[in-house]
Amino acid sequence: MDTQSGRVVVWNTKSRSTWTLDVCSNTWQAMKPAQEPDSAVGRMVYDSALDVTIAFTHPIYEPGRRVSVWTYLFETNTWTKLPASAPGPRIWPYVRDLVYDSRSGTALFFLEDATLWAYDLTRNAWTKANQTGQVPGERDLHDEHTDNQFYPSFLSYDSVVGRVVLALVGGGTWTFDPLAGVWTKAKAVTPRIDVGYYAAGSEVTFNAVHKRTVIYSYGRLATYDAAAQTRTTVPPRQLPDSAPLMTGPLARLHHTLVYDPINKRVLMFGGQSQMPAGWQSLDDVWAYDLTSRTWAQVVPATRK
């Protein structure tokens, strides 16, 4: 979410093209810049201090390669590839998630091996972060009760408390102070979250106005209050071949969740849903109002 331009910046993996969503008019625009990333974009964050979107990419089918860094400036519609910066994380496909820490001005990567990396755009430098306190380890991330190798997890940055929030579906929630490098394990948080199919069914963002981390996970929406260490859930809308329990988007995988501070809402778009005839890609956009706890479709689907 580029807050200065009021646009959500999206790199379409399938068409390998740049798009933006104007959150005031709820309209998409194909940007067609002169240059675009030359490899798969894994994740993007917005650097609010420098007013640029940072994209972290990796060569397709080459998981051992280091992550490359690109920046996108909406005002000039320009992508720029930065020089390689060592050491940097190598195991990109196993990045659980990443967040932007506005206090330190760094993007933070949490990997499946429980290592934490920080990227500073100003210096174009990677740092393997020191972690102290009640550090979540590989054993904490391992799921011994299902066929999944790892518990799916959610990583968000709570700008109110200035902490990274790591919440595991199977149990356990931690917060991390990026400046002090200290992890703290929260008390037990219930209810648990159903992700449907692995971690692909889950996305998370932080709602600064309501001071809540918002999780949309395979048709189910939950919020987490890091200060009070409490989680709440909203009844789901079931799959298309089931009777709907609420008005809202279809349950889906590989979707995107982003907070729109201009309209004080959470936006959810993209992904795939399981239809009676098979999996189908979705292009609708939905907005969730945390005050009324209601969904509204702001961009209708073009595929039925």
| Contact (CB, 8 A) for 160 and 211 | yes
C-beta neighbour count of 27 within 10 angstroms: 12
What is d(CA 9, CA 215) in angstroms, rounded to the nearest whole number?
20
Backbone angles phi, psi at 194, to 5 degrees: -95, 120
What is d(CA 269, CA 282) in angstroms, rounded to the nearest whole number?
8
What number of CA atoms fall less than 13 Å from residue 187's CA on the CB side? 6
Tokens 């200035």 -> residue:
162
pTM listed for this prediction: 0.86
Per-residue pLDDT reduced to its tens digit, 254-286:
888 999 999 999 999 988 888 888 888 889 999
What separation in angstroms does the CA of 260 have from each of 49, 132, 286, 287? 17, 33, 12, 9
Mean pLDDT confidence for 1-8: 95
Q: Hey, what are 88's tokens?
A: 């940097």
Q: Is the pLDDT of residue 71 over 80?
A: yes
What is d(CA 174, CA 51) in angstroms, rounded to the nearest whole number?
29
Domains (ranges, CATH) in the chain?
131-304 (2.120.10.80)
What is d(CA 86, CA 54) in angstroms, rounded to the nearest whole number?
17
Percentage, residues of the chain above pLDDT 70: 77
Residue type, 165: V
Element (H, E) at 8: strand 7-12
